[in-house]
Structure 1
Amino acid sequence: MARILFLTDFSEAYARNLLLGIARYARNAGQAWSLCRLPLSIRDKFGIGAVLELAGRMRADAVIGQFYNTDNVELFAQRGIITVAQDFEARFPNIPNITGPHFLAGKMGAEYFLKKGFRHFAFYGMRDVVWSDERLQGFRETVRAANPGFSFSALDKSSRNELWNYDPVQLVAWLRALPKPVAVMACDDNHAYHITEACQQREGGGKLRIPDDIAVLGVDNDETICRLSEPNLSSLNQNIEQGGYDVAQLIDRIIRDPATPREDVMVMPTHIVTRQSTDIYANGDQHIAEVLKYIHENIREKISVDELVALVPLSRRLLETRFKKSMGTSIYDYIIQTRIEKVAQFLCEGMSVSEAALELGFSDIKNLSRMFRQLRGMTPSEYRRHVLHPER
């Protein structure tokens, strides 16, 4: 029986979902694993040595934790204890990390807002924290690549601050100074929640409207935070439970064969869950904004360009020209891309390929697979397996 110590913040859904993934691996492997949760206060009050001593007394096989990079994690290896770092400040070079392609997460956030027609962008995060810094980089570079003329701003607080210890006065002032409407990506759901709180402040000019003035996107899709927020938060979902499964599989391999390579475990971003905080289409051209809104609200139906022409006082040729200039792609291609993104979302949520096709009115599975492969680089079945069951 493997005994795993978990040193992390259990108030966050991220840690709880990792635990669920570890438990799933143990269950699938037919093993009775002991998963012991430790509060971060042990490390913070008494130092990493106290965690090491406790791990020794409990005869732990492995410790998974949020470690500072000043923590001497080599001490665990000296005691024969496997150590895995959960993304905290920076990746460790000498032990496995539970991490992710954070640049990709930022890129996905930017692409999401770009498809909604925004021209002003901002990012709110923490300085010198790898997952925040890389999400900022992916978000900023994607915006600038789309159009160097788009505005961009960033506000980051010191990484040494407590999670909830932020300066609301500074945040409100920054938000008020941004050109509107603005699309703001936060480094995680907690920071996105900071923004929704700040927008409720009346000092200095009244409340900021979400999403009319400020559209807000978080990361991790923590249901509790997203639904407590007013309005409810949109968030980038990550396959966290699968990350827990993968780290358990790695630990099991190392227990069986200590020579097993220590590889990082990647938690993959999957799709964006849209809620009220981003329920807007902010194109400066009101006719294009109306077309975008119609496309997204009716994406489960077959949409023709003629339907869209009937919505606005423009000829077909003029609408197509203005849409291409505004969105960088044709109306037809935009609809196809949006439908394929919806298919991908349904697959991430557990639908079969045929169920997703039925939801979106695709009568020809082969044609769907061809278009999906062109845009995603793999078939819908391969994508579903890659996201939901990469261990198979």
Structure 2
Amino acid sequence: MTSSPTDRRIRRAPERHRPQVLFIPSYRDERMLEGICQYAFEAGWVLDLFFYRTGTIPKDWHGDGILCLLNLPNWSPNMKRFILAQREAGVPMVDLALNDPQVKIPRVLQDDRAIGRLAAEYLISLGIRRLAFCTRTFHHPYKERFAGFQEIAAQKELPCSLIQIPDDFSAEEGLPVEFQQEPPSIDQPLGIMAAADPLANWVIQACQVSGLKIPENVALISVENDRYLCELGTITVSSIDNNALRQGYEAARLLDRLIHGEEAPEEPVYIPPGALHVRESSNLLAVRHPHVANALRQIAQRFRDPELKPAHIAARIPMSARRLHDAFVKYVGRSMYQEITHRRLQYAKKLIQETDQKMWDIAQSAGFSSPEVMSRLFSRWFGHPPSYFRRLK
């Protein structure tokens, strides 16, 4: 006797387990969340954002992994107990901050020291020879940014001051006394790095109180590249993308590997900074040597030409090649050849991280004679080959 179709059982393939992941930040960062969500979609996670939206620990949570920005000293006793209980239970965790370095946990961090170095190098490339770092607090990311900023200033033997923002954010007294006694001028401008975009507005207000113009007297750069903060103020602000989206994505990817039994890395994974977005706050060439300024403009316009050499630049400037070279190094801090290479590398790095173009096409577009030449220069300047930055894409 044969069974009817209604009697037959339909055999279903067992459903694949979807990892249950909880995100517990100590502050809200929409771009970091976007990176986490991007990976969650790709990996088929169940992502619990209850804490992110409400600040409340979900009751009776039993999941597979936790992404967090640890901040145990400032968290409530309930939150501390929850996190410690999950660690004791062996739930995989990845931290996206370094507020609690004594807690040994896998981490994916922004390379804040590299961010500080990039900011200083950019300001110096404008011909600025007086630097300052502006912050209100000194939690870990700001400490690292200041350290990187100071490192480049020390290498170039340039003065580097610290501007401490008052607790009440009042700018009514302007910049510190040292800048009022020896105010920056058009011939000797000041370059300020604000530790983060929200602090740049204080610098703008303090400069106004002190009678200083941005960017004529003060070139300003900040970090995070929050478009609303950088583009909707009285002055649009140049800013470095801290790559929070990539950080979120890579942290999620690391957690996924831990959930599936891989060994945790012994050292933190550092995410390099993204692009520097130049806006009004630093868009005037601070170099006051007209021939050096001319050379910089030519390089900016022509660096993608693979035939471009310093001699071609010098041929268009009414100054001997030797004197132009010496003046360029004095005002910019590197030779014309190094400036051409620097711009090509930055352009290529941007294409590698933001497009799917082949390395040959990128090398050609950036002005390199071949991908091999580009790769050697990447390793020399950045410490990694181009493929490293493509993997971070």
How far apart are 1:56 and its partner, in Å?
Answer: 3.3
Moved more, 31-40 or 222-231: 31-40
Note if 1:295 corresponds to 2:299.
yes
Q: 2:155 aligns with which of 145, 150, 172?
A: 145
The 1:63–1:288 alpha-carbon spacing in structure 2 relative to 1, beyond 3 Å, is closer
3-state DSSP class of the match of 2:213?
Answer: coil
Cross-structure match for 1:189: 197
CA distance in 1, matches of 2:58, 2:102: 20
How far apart are 1:183 and its partner, in Å?
Answer: 0.9
Q: 1:112 aligns with which of 115, 119, 122?
A: 122
* Percentage of pairs with the same residue: 24
3-state DSSP class of the match of 2:135?
Answer: strand
The 1:234–1:90 alpha-carbon spacing in structure 2 relative to 1, beyond 3 Å, is farther
The 1:355–1:220 alpha-carbon spacing in structure 2 relative to 1, beyond 3 Å, is farther
Note if 1:240 corresponds to 2:248.
no
How far apart are 1:84 and its partner, in Å?
Answer: 4.9
Note if 1:324 corresponds to 2:329.
yes
Note if 1:28 corresponds to 2:31.
no
Note if 1:357 corresponds to 2:367.
no
What amino acid maps onto 1:35 in structure 2?
D
The 1:321–1:94 alpha-carbon spacing in structure 2 relative to 1, beyond 3 Å, is closer
3-state DSSP class of the match of 2:215?
Answer: coil
CA distance in 2, matches of 1:123, 1:40: 33
The 1:197–1:86 alpha-carbon spacing in structure 2 relative to 1, beyond 3 Å, is farther
How far apart are 1:185 and its partner, in Å?
Answer: 0.8
Unaligned segments of structure 2, at least 5 residues: 1-17
What amino acid maps onto 1:321 in structure 2?
D
CA distance in 2, matches of 1:319, 1:33: 61
**Which structure's CA Rg is the greater one?**
2
- RMSD, aligned CA: 3.2
CA distance in 1, matches of 2:118, 2:184: 22
What amino acid maps onto 2:298 in structure 1?
Y
How far apart are 1:122 and its partner, in Å?
Answer: 0.6
Q: How many residues align?
A: 361
8 Å Cα contact 1:113-1:183 kept in structure 2: yes
How far apart are 1:128 and its partner, in Å?
Answer: 3.0
Cross-structure match for 2:233: 229
Q: 1:130 aligns with which of 126, 129, 140?
A: 140
What amino acid maps onto 2:22 in structure 1?
I
Moved more, 341-350 or 213-222: 341-350
How far apart are 1:34 and its partner, in Å?
Answer: 2.5
Cross-structure match for 1:101: 111
- Cα deviations by residue, 1:51-105 (Å, 9 ceiling, x for unpaired): 4xx3334545536246253546354232546655443755452344453332221
Q: 1:278 aligns with which of 273, 278, 282?
A: 282
Moved more, 334-343 or 84-93: 84-93
8 Å Cα contact 1:5-1:63 kept in structure 2: yes
- Cα deviations by residue, 1:197-218 (Å, 9 ceiling, x for unpaired): 444x4x454xx32211111111
The 1:38–1:338 alpha-carbon spacing in structure 2 relative to 1, beyond 3 Å, is same
- Cα deviations by residue, 1:210-250 (Å, 9 ceiling, x for unpaired): 21111111112222222223332211123322221222233
Cross-structure match for 2:9: none
The 1:258–1:333 alpha-carbon spacing in structure 2 relative to 1, beyond 3 Å, is closer
The 1:41–1:183 alpha-carbon spacing in structure 2 relative to 1, beyond 3 Å, is farther
8 Å Cα contact 1:9-1:40 kept in structure 2: no
What amino acid maps onto 2:58 in structure 1?
A
3-state DSSP class of the match of 2:334?
Answer: coil
Unaligned segments of structure 1, at least 5 residues: 43-50
8 Å Cα contact 2:364-2:370 kept in structure 1: no
Q: TM-score, normalised by structure 2?
A: 0.78
CA distance in 2, matches of 1:132, 1:141: 14
How far apart are 1:123 and its partner, in Å?
Answer: 0.5
8 Å Cα contact 2:67-2:255 kept in structure 1: no
The 1:262–1:343 alpha-carbon spacing in structure 2 relative to 1, beyond 3 Å, is closer
The 1:325–1:172 alpha-carbon spacing in structure 2 relative to 1, beyond 3 Å, is closer
Moved more, 341-350 or 263-272: 263-272
